[in-house]
Structure 1
Amino acid sequence: MTAPHTPSHKHSADHSRTAPPSYGGAPSVPEEEDGPGLQTELIQAALVAVVLTVSGALFGLLWGKLAPRVPLVADDKAVFLKEIEGEQAIGADGTFILLALGFGLVSGAAVFLWRRRGGIPLVVGLALGGLLASVVAWRLGLLLGPGDDVVARAKEAGPGVAFDAPLKLNAIGALLAWPIAGLAVHLGLTALFGPRDPEFAVGPYHALNEEPGRNHPYPPEPGTRTE
């Protein structure tokens, strides 16, 4: 039996000021810095969506210029396709999809380089902005293309003279090409080059004891006996 062990006031004060010990002898890991905050993330996501939507105008200009035209010809009774087996209509959809994939790749990489931390609001802004930009490009391309009044344009061209059909997007699902490509690129870059969570090792429970040679994880209470 030993005498009651009463820790001194100095020891208690020093112990209260001591940082919690690390487990397994591993150094304590500082807390990871918090993100920019929900309000800031929402503002950044809205900014991304607005910028991408505006860039849809450039997409529409390129589509209206690069998409192949469908030639039509008219007689005194009706309007016909000049080339029945022509693939110009399919080419217009393909041009739209290729441009959308290119814009999606660039936008996804640009958003990642701007904000490497990512976050759900930023991803939603990227997807929504890509979709709105595709809609803007679609409608703008139709406005800049040949007019929709085929009969008037056939009369203007005259019988047997070919003229361009209105630009159309037959595959409406092509509007999803930009957001899908942007999300794929952004998530892929985030997985490869994004920040990693800190790793730390957890040792045995008895490593909590700060004083070597003791079997108790914490100092005994005043007035207790130890054997």
Structure 2
Amino acid sequence: MTAPLTPPHQPGPHDPWQAPPSGSHPAPSEGRTDNPDTATELRQAAVVLVAVALAGIVLGLLWLWLAPRVPLVSDDTAVFLKNSEGEEAIGADGTFVLLALGFGALSAAAVFWRLRRGGVLVVVGLALGSLLAALIAWRVGVWLGPSSDVVARAREAGRGVTFDAPLELHSVWVAVLAWPFAAMGIHLLLTAAFGPRDVEPDWSGYAGYYDGPVQGPLAGPGSGSSPSPPAGGDRT
């Protein structure tokens, strides 16, 4: 009579259900830093939101300085465009949009450079700050520009005297959303091109662990192992 090759209470050398050997877990990569926690990310997002929103004041001042003026003239009974074929009104919208796109690209690059490992909250702070900045820029330009009381200014200027129309946006939401869209697009491109990559874990500790055929009930027809003789083998 022959005894079983492997006692039932002792796992085989290649038991797939055996606990992995000590030190075989993936080794953490050297030099890798953990992502910031939620509290830190919230503070970073708040700083980004405020800083980007304050940049809207600069955009408003530049828009006031660079936007073309719309000349008006009065005949004591009504106010008319001095040049009915002029495109100064469209030029004001275009100037705002171009400046907003530039500021959006700059703000996205600055945020990515300072907070490359920032999470979703930082991106949300950038988006909200960009929208708020565009609204601030619009209101600053209107507030510091020519008065919106056209009738009073026409009376002050006198008959036949040219004066500037109020600075305004005709396509408000198109112009206001230019900054957020530019910021989100540039930040996404920078993250895809230069963002941090997850380092593959080191699985070298598992090398040679499952290097033999599986024994036991999981052994298939192609495992290459010969079946063990029963406990009560043939007697000779």
Please indicate, yes or no, whether the TM-score normalized by the shorter chain is above 0.5.
Answer: yes
Could you give the per-residue CA deviations for residues 13-53 of structure 1, whole angstroms, max 9, x where no partner exists?
xx9982236xxxxxx34166431111111110111000011
| Alpha-carbon offset, residue 116 of structure 1 | 1.0
> Number of residue pairs matched?
203
Alignment of 1:75-224 (within 5 A): 75-172=75-172, 173-199=174-200, 207-209=208-210
Between the aligned partners of 1:48 and 1:81, the Cα distance in structure 2 is 42
Q: Which has the larger radius of gyration?
A: 2
Amino acid at match of 2:28: P
User: Retained in 1: the 8 A contact 2:27–2:202?
Assistant: no
User: Retained in 2: the 8 A contact 1:150–1:165?
Assistant: yes
| Alpha-carbon offset, residue 189 of structure 1 | 0.5
User: Retained in 2: the 8 A contact 1:206–1:215?
Assistant: no
Could you give the per-residue CA deviations for residues 173-192 of structure 1, whole angstroms, max 9, x where no partner exists?
21011111111111101100
Between the aligned partners of 2:62 and 2:10, the Cα distance in structure 1 is 83
Amino acid at match of 1:71: P
User: Retained in 1: the 8 A contact 2:28–2:201?
Assistant: no
User: Retained in 1: the 8 A contact 2:36–2:118?
Assistant: no
Amino acid at match of 2:84: I
Cα separation, partners in 2 of 1:197 and 1:157, compared to 1, 3 Å? same
Secondary structure at the aligned position of 2:24 is classed as: coil
- Could you tell which deviates more after superposition, 31-40 or 190-199? 31-40
What is aligned with 2:24?
Answer: 20
Return the TM-score normalized by structure 2: 0.77
User: Retained in 1: the 8 A contact 2:61–2:140?
Assistant: yes
Amino acid at match of 1:183: M
| Alpha-carbon offset, residue 198 of structure 1 | 2.2
Quote the RMSD (CA, aligned, Å). Answer: 3.0
Cα separation, partners in 2 of 1:109 and 1:215, compared to 1, 3 Å? same
Between the aligned partners of 1:45 and 1:154, the Cα distance in structure 2 is 47
In structure 1, list runs of 5 or more residues that go unmatched: 8-14, 22-27, 218-225
Could you give the per-residue CA deviations for residues 145-198 of structure 1, whole angstroms, max 9, x where no partner exists?
000111111111110111000001111121011111111111101100111122
Secondary structure at the aligned position of 1:208 is classed as: coil
User: Retained in 2: the 8 A contact 1:75–1:159?
Assistant: yes
User: Retained in 2: the 8 A contact 1:104–1:182?
Assistant: yes
Secondary structure at the aligned position of 2:80 is classed as: strand
Between the aligned partners of 2:24 and 2:67, the Cα distance in structure 1 is 67
User: Retained in 2: the 8 A contact 1:206–1:216?
Assistant: no
User: Retained in 2: the 8 A contact 1:96–1:174?
Assistant: yes
Secondary structure at the aligned position of 1:159 is classed as: coil
More helix by share: 1
Amino acid at match of 2:134: S
Cα separation, partners in 2 of 1:16 and 1:207, compared to 1, 3 Å? closer
What is aligned with 1:30?
Answer: 28
Return the TM-score normalized by structure 1: 0.79
| Alpha-carbon offset, residue 207 of structure 1 | 4.0
What is aligned with 1:44?
Answer: 44
In structure 2, list runs of 5 or more residues that go unmatched: 12-18, 217-227, 230-236
Question: Segments of 4+ in structure 1 off by > 4 A?
Answer: 1-7, 200-203, 212-217
